[in-house]
Structure 1
């Protein structure tokens, strides 16, 4: 009955969340359902197992959610994201409209801007470029998603995306884990996505399909849609309701000023990870007052947090005159982080309850027995859980909470670099998470004024097929050559 309860709980979570129910309510409710089927203490699992795990996730990752949302909102309100998007589009022009949209999205998200912030800025730019180039409007979501939600989220070494941060405390790694493999995976995702979109554009021109009609939803309409908000906040780190709060600058900064904060994120992250933290003495972290941890357990989060904080300070200093109301923008950014982290933490709490049930031993043994070795089984575990939850961060954390220690022990025994485990886990979480119920998918389609019927197939090719090919390549290379 315990295994039946796990399956029933997962089914209810997927079905009801797809219908728009809040994960804050669903996750504890279905966790109790799973515990009831197993005959386990219900209240103990709710207050001790569920809440303990959720609270631990918030304690570990709230600085990243907070600073990431704050940085993204200030980049938007200062006009920096718009300035970067306009610069790239003007240099590449309408003949390379798809490439311009992809590169603009990649640049801002790799620099630390939330993909939800990027959606609302890139969609109007993409609409303008696609209309002028007579490229079908239905390809807009796939082009934006390729630049914002694939390689810069899961593969590029050093990306400050929360998905790249989550494995670090489990494996003792840095944001730059397996950099060579990450770059190869990024190249595969980008090349495959651009090839597919170029093929789709050529096919459309051959058949005489032009831009076509489209709806142009207002930012406020999409941002305040409650269904979109519920889906979005359980999958990524920015509450779309805060997009319209604060005040965006009427005059974007020069491109040099706009791009400096992004360079600060990458540069400080690298310095903290490779040069600064490893050279300092943090032996005191082993004391009980600091949680009896080690530098390996916190260095990754510290590196990303310091990088985002430094970039935020730089951004404010460079754009103080352009930010009409700094306090309002900062309040909106801070508020934008709260609902997402509680939503993801609720998914994590649900996973902790499931992992604590006796029947989960069967699931664990099955996952670990998958042919192909630990790299393959880890990839499958993160894929499946990200698909079920519709959240790369939620699925990844559930998988690592339940199996992270086991995989670390396997890595030590088999002499597998934990950095390789890190990269495979992150790329695995960023593939099947893009199913139709994923919050980023729902939001992006709404922002672009498109539908699943018109645009989702091309999103599957760019967001799922390309990353799956990259994941297979990384597993093959990692199994034969090791981590690099």
Structure 2
């Protein structure tokens, strides 16, 4: 019991201190050490750190470094080439300020589904959203929720083929790919989009009845505005050329997932690397190929028009390290916790939440851990690192496909991850120059409330009809 209490104390402190703004790069090893000390394993402290924490951290980095690196690079190339600006401006011109909320949501969703980083999207879209909301006299406090709906929900967790890291994490555990359970993912995505828009539009209507308007805000020149001006002619490029890299991310991924790798004899890989299971890795390999092709296409298509290609590449590459090592540190923390005696009680409690239906148990575990860490990728990684093998076994025993387990895991991780201490939410509010008090309740509604409804619907349909 003492070891279990030690785990709970360390988890609560991790959540509280992360909310206070302390980096998890430091918090994760410190809270893991605290759990070890409180559980009475003081003499094993150093071996646990070097063999358990660092092994799990390095293993995660080894497996997912290419996805983080290429994703960050692709996002920076899209931003600095002017492609992201072209796409978002085109949507604005078609829908206009009369549909300001829908315009912002769609612009964010197109960019994130195409592989552009959430943070790049937030910086790029905020100046546009600010102008649209002011022109339409919609409260500025609804801007963060609109950006969050388009960036942090259905395009991150539900839509099949999304290159978001969350959608890649379950692949080596379940032997799936980013297109897992496409039908259910689309249904879940429609519920998230429709429900989120209904909420935001109802808040807009309520504010209009009260005569609230945009509000009075002291606003300077946003970083994205300055970047736009610096890019000059590059901020506008042909729409077809701007959209092409996004189509390549999804299209090349699908091509290698369903046509190339399944028709290849990969026995030569096993002969050279006997520990590699190609059936569990082709999903990651396909995503890597797609991102490389998209990045190369962007670079080549804009040769001679880059303001400073070297600076863009360096900025993109350097930008991947903090998100990767934040998540990897949380994985190391999870591995230490899983090795403590008290974790057996927690594991059994979670696994027995819904005997006979591992989908419900998995959804609870992902939501809880994502909420504690304030990170969908962190919570998902910890849960699969500690319970992935158990869930796969339970799914096989219950006749549930790994593809359905994959989709439920990713959607569940995108539920409580946006609690107030979530780093992405704190950053988004900072970009918009707003506070939790002003905007958080609407963010919570579209990133936690509505996605929970979608998750319940997907679990119910999957239980009745299986994966489709």
Q: Same fold (TM over 0.5)?
A: yes
Where 1:321 maps in the other structure, the secondary structure is coil
Give the corresponding residue for 1:28: 29
The answer for the alignment partner of 2:450 in structure 1 is 466
1:483 aligned counterpart, secondary structure: coil
Task: Please tell me whether residue 328 in structure 1 is matched to residue 329 in structure 2.
Answer: no
Structure 2 residue 146 is matched with structure 1 residue 143:
yes
SS of 1:43's partner is helix
Q: Please identify, of 176-185 and 274-283, the stretch whose mean Cα deviation from structure 2 is larger.
A: 274-283
Shift of 1:379: 0.2
> 1:193-272 residue pairs with structure 2 within 5 A?
193-216=196-219, 218-219=221-222, 248=231, 250-251=233-234, 252-272=236-256
Cα distance in 1, alignment partners of residues 280 and 379 from structure 2: 20
Deviations 1:307-354 (A, max 9, x none): 111000111111223311111100110000112111110000000000
1:127 aligns to what SS in structure 2?
Answer: helix
Distance 1:173 1:82, change over 3 A: same
CA contact (8 A) 1:155 1:183 kept: yes
Residues 325 and 471 of structure 1: is their aligned pair in 2 closer, same or farther, counting only changes over 3 Å?
same
Deviation string for 1:276-332 (max 9, x for gaps)? 111112224435x63612112211111111111100011111122331111110011
- Compare 278-287 and 64-73 and name the one that shifted more: 278-287
Q: Report matched runs for 1:274-285 at 5 Å.
A: 274-285=258-269
> Would the aligned equivalents of 1:282 and 1:294 in 2 still touch at CA under 8 Å?
no
Cα displacement (A) at 1:274: 0.8
* 2:106 match: secondary structure: helix
Is residue 2:401 matched to residue 1:411? no
Aligned ranges 1:46-61 → 2 under 5 Å: 46-61=49-64
Structure 2 counterpart of 1:481: 465
CA distance in 1, matches of 2:201, 2:104: 13
Q: What residue number does 1:163 align with?
A: 166
Does residue 398 in structure 1 map to residue 382 in structure 2?
yes
Asked if 2 retains the 8 angstrom alpha-carbon contact of 1:79 and 1:249, the reply is no
* Cα drift, residue 209 of structure 1: 1.0
Query: After superposition, where does 1:316-355 map in structure 2 within 5 Å?
Result: 316-355=299-338
Q: How many residues align?
A: 463
Deviation at 1:418, TM superposition (A): 0.2
**Residue 2 (structure 1) aligns with:** 3
Q: Which runs of 5+ in 1 are unaligned?
A: 223-242
Q: CA deviation at 1:39?
A: 2.6
Deviation string 1:235-281 (CA, Å, 9 cap, x unpaired) is xxxxxxxx979x74543212111111000101001011111111112
2:291 alignment counterpart: 308
TM-score, length-scaled by structure 2 = 0.96
8 A contact 1:77–1:249 mirrored in 2: no
Match of 2:351 in 1: 368
RMSD between aligned residues: 1.8
Alpha-carbon contact 1:75-1:315 (below 8 Å) kept? yes
**C-alpha distance in 2 between matches for 1:256 and 1:317:** 15
Are the equivalent residues in 2 in contact too, given 1:348–1:398 (CA < 8 A)?
A: yes
How far off is 1:415 after superposition?
1.4
- Deviation at 1:33? 1.2
Task: Provide the residue aligned with 2:132 in structure 1.
Answer: 129
Give, in whole Å, the separation in 2 of the partners of 1:44 and 1:190.
Answer: 47
Q: 2 CA distance for matches of 1:349 and 1:319?
A: 40
Greater CA deviation, 446-455 or 166-175? 446-455
What secondary structure is seen at the aligned counterpart in 2 of 1:476?
A: helix
2:257 corresponding residue in structure 1: 273
Q: CA separation in 2, counterparts of 1:306 and 1:375?
A: 31
Does the aligned pair in 2 maintain the 1:78–1:249 contact within 8 Å? no
* 1:124 partner SS: helix
- Change beyond 3 A, Cα 1:202–1:326: same
**Deviation (angstroms), 1:16:** 1.5
Q: 1:240: which partner in 2?
A: none
Distance of 1:324 and 1:279 partners within structure 2: 42
Are the aligned partners of 2:127 and 2:222 in contact in 1 as well (CA < 8 Å)?
no
Helix, strand or coil: the match of 1:204?
helix
TM normalised by structure 1 equals 0.93
From 393, 418, 425, the counterpart of 1:434? 418
Aligned partner of 2:14 in structure 1 is: 13
